[in-house]
Amino acid sequence: MLYCLAGLTCNEQTFAIKAGAQQHAARHGLVLVTPDTSPRNTGVAEADADWQFGTGAGFYLDATREPYARHWRMETWLVEELPSVLASRFPVRDDRVGILGHSMGGHGALTLALRHPGRFRSVSAFAPICAPSDVPWGRGAFGGYLGEDASAWREHDAVRLVAGGARAPMLVVDQGMEDPFLATQLRPERLEEACAAAGQPLTLRRHAGYDHGYFFIASFVGEHLAHHAALLRA
């Protein structure tokens, strides 16, 4: 079973419609799980004010700051609640689960794997937000969901988690070099430096000519699913 976490402004349909992953999943015998990116219809007035925060922008964490703490609990949903629902309805192996994500979802894949050792046997990401504490997307989300105490942010920042001793299976990251968010929002070089210093296995592949979109994902998603299938079947 492979969780596929989408990015900002997306929903549970985006990866399923745009990534072209089903043919590869069928060939490898993988169940694809494409959860939504945030809660919806919560009644929180400011949730729809900014595309970078609130609806469509859950950042795959449990909020602690009001008025988001009640509904924005995406980490609990993905790690505890949804697996229980899936196991009760489908013949899936809960001990053979991988996770991948794109952009904000790439951030989610990396941090959830690092925060829950043993939960995911394989991890990969497309153009992830690698150092959210240091970029506008992450700072805005963390301040809104977790408050201004930056020490709480470290627990949801892949670079800081690795530097602090968290470990996961081999991280596989693909990054397009024509991505307009590369220098300002994603910062994969920070993840590369942290993993090298800490001894965390990382494969970071840089692709000339590719941007941040789903044509980039569709070009390499087959390689990602083959990687996950090999580890999940081992």
Instruction: Show which residues are catalytic.
Output: 103, 179, 212
21 and 15 in contact (C-beta within 8 Å)? yes
Residue whose tokens read 């829950």: 116
End-to-end CA distance of the chain: 14
Q: DSSP H helical segments within the chain, as ranges?
A: 14-18, 22-28, 74-76, 82-89, 104-115, 136-146, 150-153, 158-163, 188-198, 214-233
58 and 41 in contact (C-beta within 8 Å)? no
d(CA 138, CA 144): 10
The CB density around residue 88, as the number of other CB atoms within 10 Å, is 7
d(CA 190, CA 73): 27
Amino acid at 133: S
